[in-house]
Structure 1
Amino acid sequence: MECIEHMGERDGVWTWQRINQLFNWLPLAALIEDKIICMHGGIGRSINHVEQIENLQRPITMEAGSVILMDLLWSDPTENDSVEGLRPNARGPGLVTFGPDRVMEFCKSNNLQLIVRAHECVMDGFERFAQGHLITLFSATNYCGTANNAGAILVLGRDLVVVPKLIHPLPPAATSPESSPEHQFEDTWMQELNVQRPPTPTRASSTSNIALYRNS
């Protein structure tokens, strides 16, 4: 719908198809120095070894990747370190949340120090889980114009020291272009689109400080 709105039906459909063809070739995870793995969602119920991700054939389809793809793109950590195992995910049927025990087991089996993932709006821009062996990273500030969350990036040193850097949301502008009819139309259009999207739950503020962080 967004492509058609911006480009018309013919060009919009063509662009949407080409973008989806590109997605079928994009990386699903990144491994840094064989110690830190980065992915969008998580390890879910099915991913126990890095090789399972490496062995997915390209171009990929949802049917071919099945459970592994669903877990990589849609799974989330449980509420906190005290909730272990696998639980149903409120995002939808067939999706799961995974506990700190899964994270620790995965890191130990693959000789990893850290999992970095996104997929959830966290109020401080980043949030630690599983005793620091997983970090949720969210770089968009004030998500969808309503969350008022900070964003963050991770700066990674040569010795694998991880330093979170916060991006604070901008304060409201003194002058108000938001009152223009064009802006009001855009806000309404975005709100309608957001209703159709699966929700991104907002986690509470992290209680951890922003100090230098190293896994061991």
Structure 2
Amino acid sequence: MTKVLVLYYSSYGHIERMADAVAEGARGAGAQVDIRRVAETAPPDVVAAAHFKTDSSHPVIESADALAGYDAIIVGAPTRFGRMPSQMASFWDTTGGLWAKGALIGKVGGAFTSTASQHGGQETTLFSLITNLLHHGLTIVGLDYGFQGQMGVDEVVGGSPYGATTISGGGGERQPSAAELDGARYQGRRIAEVAAKLAA
């Protein structure tokens, strides 16, 4: 059975909801899926002052070495000025040993993100996540146009050929829409399908 890791960082719960949808899609393709989050690195007073969401049913990933046990790794994080946040970057900075051994070469990867506004850096943030995966030798699967939910213009909707996205609003008031969650499920399913084919 194909093993998929959904690895995420979420400040306010938007990416956490997207991670659940990505995992749902991958499970729908018959994969065994684990959802893990990276550790919070912001000081406790900053977390409290910013009202970060601190309760989650998903455990923190214990070690970067765990990545080697998966056939596919799907990474989600919100934007910080058009790139991944320091919490996720700090995690990937611990993966040098895996890189040196080529431990992730040939696996399948993908990314998803959220921004406050429609033009808040969704694609550049996805590329900042994908860049790490490419350096590790993963084959990237995005949100292809088989998912037509990203094509409409009659409502505000995230989505990019580079990965599933959501728009949170300036105060985090907007939760992922049905179309955005469907995009996350679609991408999760596609990644699991590709990983299964490569492992066959």
TM-score (ref. length: structure 1)? 0.27
Q: Which has the higher contact order (CA 8 A, sep 6+)?
A: 2
Higher helix share: 2
Structure ID, larger Rg: 1
TM-score w.r.t. the length of structure 2 is 0.28
